[in-house]
Amino acid sequence: MKRGFSFSVTVVVSAIVFIYFCTVFVFIDRWFGLMTSPGIMNAVAFTGVAFMCVLNYAYAILADPGRVPSSFMPDIEDPEVPIHEIKRKGGDLRFCQKCSCFKPPRAHHCRVCKRCILRMDHHCNWINNCVGHANYKVFFVFVVYAVIACIYSLILLVGSLTNDSQNDKQHSADTFRIAYVISGLLLVPLSVALSVLLGWHIYLILQNKTTIEFSLIFLKLNRQYHEGVRAMWLAEKGGTVYKHPYDIGAYENLTTVLGPSIFCWICPFSRHIGNGLRFRTAYDRVSTSSTSK
């Protein structure tokens, strides 16, 4: 997938570089001194967080979010696939007219990338890429490290301001005022926005939903209710409560996205995610328990 220059990515990279240099060479230096033990420890710690943030950001940009194989063909007679997603109208299997291929469960066509994306969450302009099956984890981990870095830098900014000595106040005000003001204007809204984004995706992971799947339940688009709204309505009409089919329990939902080992959850790479063509569902448990009986 060829992608050209992205203004949004340039803005993000510029902000990361600016905040890093201000944090290390202004905030830490003026608070502790870079040559002191506390200064070195904080500089190393912040550099480590910044490095992991940049690493995950780069991988989220460069990684293919998930490509539907040209040979994919849904097998409705496969007993190991208890659920098949169908079109809103007609009840046929989901087929993408633009890509001329069947769409696996949770796959959607991206108008920007102009192809179907496996387990598509959303298209993110800030990474100039879709967030899908193959790069959702690194996108999430990037947000985690970005929140840590912003809050860490904000604490150092405040500490640096409050710990300036009386002799350096005038010099600090004249020389570093612009760095403090710009950093504050960047860090405060970034910390809030990224924290909200992190909380949102933690909720989605615990429910094993994508942003699109959440929208399908609650949004009305093009004067037609989406699959989730229709499913909820049909379930309530039948006297049952609608349950997201891919919700298999909070802990198992976490391991589905972040990996089976808790020690690898904040690592950028993992091969646990499978091929993205089939996902465990709540119906798997039902069929397993029925078979055991």
pLDDT digits (tens, 9 = 90+) for 127-138: 999 999 999 999
- Which of 101, 124, 130, 150 is labelled catalytic? 124
- Looking at residue 291, what is its pLDDT? 45
- Summarize the chain as % helix, strand, coil (round to 5): 55, 10, 35
> What are the backbone dihedrals phi and psi of residue 110, each rounded to the nearest 5 degrees, phi first?
-100, 125
**Would the pLDDT of 226 be above 50?**
no
Tens-place pLDDT, residues 146-177 = 999 999 999 999 999 888 654 455 555 566 88
Instruction: Based on the residue annotation, tell me whether 113 is a catalytic residue of this protein.
Output: no
Distance CA 134, CA 84 (A): 21
- Looking at residue 223, what is its pLDDT? 34
221 pLDDT band, cuts 50/70/90, is very low
- Looking at residue 208, what is its pLDDT? 93
Distance CA 254, CA 207 (A): 9
- Looking at residue 268, what is its pLDDT? 78
The angle that helices 136-162 and 177-207 make with each other, rounded to 10 degrees, is 140
Is 106 or 90 the better-scoring residue by pLDDT?
106
- Looking at residue 241, what is its pLDDT? 56
- Looking at residue 261, what is its pLDDT? 85
Burial of 73 per CB tally in 10 Å (0-12, 13-18, 19+): exposed
Reported pTM: 0.85
For residue 233, the number of C-alpha atoms closer than 13 Å in the C-beta half-sphere is 9
- Looking at residue 86, what is its pLDDT? 65
